[in-house]
Amino acid sequence: MMKNIAIVCGGFSGEYDISIQSAQMVKENLDSKKYNSYIIFIEKGEWYHKDEIGSIFPINRKDFSFNNGEFDIYFDGVFNAIHGEPGEDGKLLGYFDMLNIPYTSSSADVSALTFNKYLCNKFIDSIGVNTARSISFTNSEQYSIQEIIEILGLPLFVKPACSGSSVGVSKVKTADELNESIIHAFKSGDRIIIEEFIEGREIDCGLYRHNNELIILPLTEIKSENEFFDYEAKYTAGKAYEITPPENLDFNHEIELKATSSLIYNKLGCKGIVRIDFILAKTGLYFIEINTVPGMSEASIVPKQAKAMGINISDLFGLCVENMFENSI
């Protein structure tokens, strides 16, 4: 009997549109001979399925089902395509745990940790991986522009502690810009993190576990036309160049990047596909962030990495679902 898969998308963050693109990509490429897939929109106050002709079917949140006008449809598993809140921060995953519905991404606890850049950096530091020097505070705490610059120098990055796709992130070059960037970051959450700027190459690693083996996809180097790999550069054609695999990357650096990615994946206890971003500097390798629900749209990095490894997108999504059911046993 074919399994019913809910592809959840939308969410409450600035990554709403990207999430829908990811969900549509999954829907179009998940094997329809194996799975009945349904895109489920998660919005504030409203969860629903919309069919091909635009009819809306509300979700019964008591058991995460919906009635299509003829019968109730229940789900065997969830393909998580929500970037940001509530799919990547653990909240929605806790709900699925209560219903015993498996999902394709890391657990609720792991997701909550990794989505908070402040807490995640503390954990990464504890396992011996370099992170940028940083300062973090909430919107109820006092801060000193002069003290921040004395500690971290310029330029620096101001980020919401909990956001993705570089939403709310600013690169600050002068003292005059810093306070404005702090105010901007607080629009995306009540805690921010300010990090020193590290000169180097941005390199991303996608990986997942299959049949108890950690599969590491080819590395990707990011070269942005903007000041950094911001939201515009990520999702606007021609604003960034993604080179898979990176050119002129020393073999020892490649080994270090992949080994460090494996260490982080295992120590955190990740599940499903994740993408880990690094800066390779003259002073060493630095962890930037981890994405436990990486983009799966046509413009996204992980599908391109899989293609470079000879894995077609349909097989990649199929592996996500297969691994989800294996992990739930």
Q: Answer yes or no: do 211 and 185 share one domain.
A: no
Number of domains observed in the structure of the chain:
3
Distances in whole angstroms, Cα of residue 180 to Cα of each of 113, 145, 173: 28, 11, 12
For position 240, what pLDDT does the model report?
Answer: 74
Q: Which residues of the chain have pLDDT under 70?
A: 164-166, 226-239, 328-329
Q: 298: closest CA among 228, 235, 225, 217?
A: 235
Task: Answer whether 42's CB lies under 8 Å from 11's CB.
Answer: yes
Which H/E stretch holds residue 196? strand 191-196
Domain final residue pick, 196, 220, 237: 196
pLDDT digits (tens, 9 = 90+) for 247-259: 999 999 999 999 9
Please provide residue 160's backbone torsions phi and psi, each rounded to the nearest 5 degrees.
-65, 140
The CATH number assigned to the domain holding 46 equals 3.40.50.20
Q: Check whether residue 169 and residue 218 sit in a common domain.
A: no
| Cβ-contact 105, 31 below 8 angstroms | no
In the numeric block, which tokens belong to residue 26? 């999954």
The predicted structure's pLDDT at residue 233: 46
Residues making up the chain, counted from first to last? 329
Beta bridge partners of 39: 7
Joined together, the tokens standing for residue 268 give 């955190």
Q: Which of 249, 266, 215 is nearest to 106 (CA)?
A: 266
Instruction: State pTM to two decimals.
Output: 0.92
Q: Phi and psi of 134, rounded to 5°? A: -150, 165
Residues 20 and 88 in one domain: yes
Query: Quick one: 175 and 210 in the same domain?
Result: no
Strand partners, 243: 221
CATH number, residue 285: 3.30.470.20
Co-location of 99 and 88 in the same domain: yes
Indicate which CATH number applies to the domain containing 162: 3.30.1490.20
Residue 248 structural domain? 112-129+199-327
Instruction: Report the pLDDT value the prediction gives residue 198, as an integer from 0 to 100.
Output: 96
For helices 16-29 and 313-327, the axis angle rounded to 10 degrees is: 100
